[in-house]
Amino acid sequence: MTPTTGDDGAAPRTGGGRPLRLGIAGLGVISRFYLAAAGRLPGWEVAAVCDLREEALAPYRGRIACHPGHRDLLAAGGLDALVVAVPNHAHAEVCADALRAGVPVCVEKPLALDPADGRRLAALSREHGVPLLTAFHRRYNDRVLDLLDRLPPPGAPVRVESVRVRYLERIEEHIGADTWYLDPARCGGGCVADNGPNAFDLVRLVLGEAPSEVVAADVVRDAAGTDRQAVVELAGPGGRARVELDWSYPGEVKDVLVRLDDGTELYADMLDGRPGFKESLWHEYEGVLRDLARLRDLPDPSRAVEGGLAALELVAAVYAVEAAAGPPGPRTPHEPHGTHEPHEPREPRAVRRSESR
């Protein structure tokens, strides 16, 4: 979907004028942003939550319907949409159950752990005519939206040549009690599986929806086997892209640099103007809920899944390139990145054409 702007929180309501009733599956570190966004937008209300942990449900008992599992929540009915914010390995199951129940879904990235599951979810979305949106919250960032407004329009003599997206952080500072992020079996990998989709979606947002291909990749894993760093080169009809991911970065950098073919550079710092920790996420998740509400008006709501599936395919392609390269030699985090100011990752390994399939 194309990101939307504006502060019209009253627009998303049912035909009867009542707010849309939102369910939230999973009360981990990200759920607070949905809860806050729904509280600020008068077109939404949080109707029910679920979590396997009683201690996570306790603050909401007596105020919101609470359930121990997503099937109980869905069986209770009455929802206009469901946010899926459970650990990554459970995304496919929860999304599938919601789609079969006819409930529109907004799922945290990644859509699923592998493209086959993603394609099955896309088929369910088409079969039931129910939208499935992956919550790429960075596409609603106000600095990103400003950058998009500065891009040359279609048909202009100047075109986008390339884009670089950097997504750098120390993951342990961002996950709170959600230690499953550090378990590759539950996360789906590491920085490529979890932060990669947001970065790949920004590339798609700038270069267009025509598929990009992984042409080079360099992935660094720690002693536990978790990918902590990656540099990925992409190419497609819309131009070239470089994505830099880091889960061991001392601090935080989230930015986009676009180069036009006349040499002009356009830049967006996604954290600019919001110095507080995770402060930029509050307004971004309002954008997610606005677009989730507008899914009802799409001629073909099943198309909402396309962005999530495209990002998932690129994640799989990066890991396939890594596997084709053979077992890596011993490397420590930050070795490929050198110093951090400026951030200059080493050139990723080139990919033979057969390795990117």
Angle between helices 196-207 and 306-324 (to 10 degrees): 120
Same domain for 146 and 102: no
Q: Is residue 352 part of a domain?
A: yes
How far is 204 from 216, CA to CA, in rounded Å? 17
Q: What confidence score (pLDDT) does residue 338 get?
A: 40
Q: Is the pLDDT of residue 7 over 50?
A: no
Q: Is residue 217 part of a domain?
A: yes
Task: Domain of residue 189: give its range.
Answer: 141-276+303-356
How far is 301 from 303, CA to CA, in rounded Å? 5
Q: What is the mean pLDDT of residues 199-207?
A: 98
Angle subtended at Cα 43 by Cα 42 and Cα 45, rounded to the nearest 5 degrees: 80
Q: Is the pLDDT of residue 16 over 80?
A: no
Residues in Cβ contact with 66 at an 8 Å cutoff, skipping those fewer than 6 apart: 48, 49, 50, 57, 60
Same domain for 61 and 133: yes
Same domain for 170 and 129: no
pLDDT band with cut points at 50, 70 and 90 for residue 297? confident
User: Do 82 and 23 touch, CB atoms closer than 8 A?
Assistant: yes
Same domain for 185 and 84: no
Same domain for 318 and 199: yes
* Of the residues 137, 168, 185, the one at which a domain ends: 137
Q: Is residue 350 part of a domain?
A: yes
Same domain for 261 and 223: yes
Q: Is residue 83 part of a domain?
A: yes
Same domain for 256 and 172: yes
pLDDT band with cut points at 50, 70 and 90 for residue 298? confident
Q: What is the mean pLDDT of residues 205-222?
A: 96
Q: What confidence score (pLDDT) does residue 15 get?
A: 58
Q: What confidence score (pLDDT) does residue 8 get?
A: 46
Q: What confidence score (pLDDT) does residue 346 get?
A: 40
Written as six digits, the tokens of 46 are 């949080």
Same domain for 259 and 191: yes
Q: Is residue 81 part of a domain?
A: yes
* Of the residues 137, 172, 203, the one at which a domain ends: 137
Q: What confidence score (pLDDT) does residue 150 get?
A: 98
Same domain for 324 and 200: yes
User: Do 262 and 158 touch, CB atoms closer than 8 A?
Assistant: yes
pLDDT band with cut points at 50, 70 and 90 for residue 296? confident
Same domain for 172 and 104: no
* Of the residues 92, 109, 137, the one at which a domain ends: 137
Written as six digits, the tokens of 308 are 């999530």
Q: What confidence score (pLDDT) does residue 345 get?
A: 40
Q: Is the pLDDT of residue 183 over 90?
A: yes
Q: Is residue 114 part of a domain?
A: yes
Instruction: State the CATH number of the domain containing residue 81.
Output: 3.40.50.720
Same domain for 330 and 181: yes
Closest CA to 102 of 130, 81, 62: 130
How does pLDDT run across 65-116, given as a tens digit for each residue? 999 999 999 999 999 999 999 999 999 999 999 999 999 999 999 999 999 9
Which neighbouring-strand residues pair with 170?
Answer: 248
Number of domains in the chain: 2
Instruction: State the CATH number of the domain containing residue 157.
Output: 3.30.360.10
How does pLDDT run across 25-79, given as a tens digit for each residue? 999 999 999 999 999 999 999 999 999 999 999 999 999 999 999 999 999 999 9
Same domain for 229 and 210: yes
Q: How far is CA 86 from CA 5, 50, 145, 176, 304, in A?
A: 27, 10, 28, 14, 20
Residue 254: how many other CB atoms lie within 10 Å: 23
How far is 195 from 245, CA to CA, in rounded Å? 7
pLDDT band with cut points at 50, 70 and 90 for residue 334? low
Q: Is the pLDDT of residue 344 over 50?
A: no
Residues in Cβ contact with 283 at an 8 Å cutoff, skipping those fewer than 6 apart: 140, 141, 142
Helix (H) or strand (E) holding 196: helix 196-207
Q: What confidence score (pLDDT) does residue 14 get?
A: 60
Which neighbouring-strand residues pair with 217?
Answer: 232, 349
Mean per-residue pLDDT over the chain, rounded? 90
How far is 81 from 102, CA to CA, in rounded Å? 9
Q: Is residue 298 part of a domain?
A: no
Q: What confidence score (pLDDT) does residue 12 get?
A: 57
How does pLDDT run across 214-254, given as a tens digit for each residue? 999 999 999 989 999 999 999 999 999 999 999 999 999 99
Q: Is the pLDDT of residue 5 over 50?
A: no
User: Do 80 and 48 touch, CB atoms closer than 8 A?
Assistant: no
Q: Is residue 5 part of a domain?
A: no
How far is 154 from 168, CA to CA, in rounded Å? 31
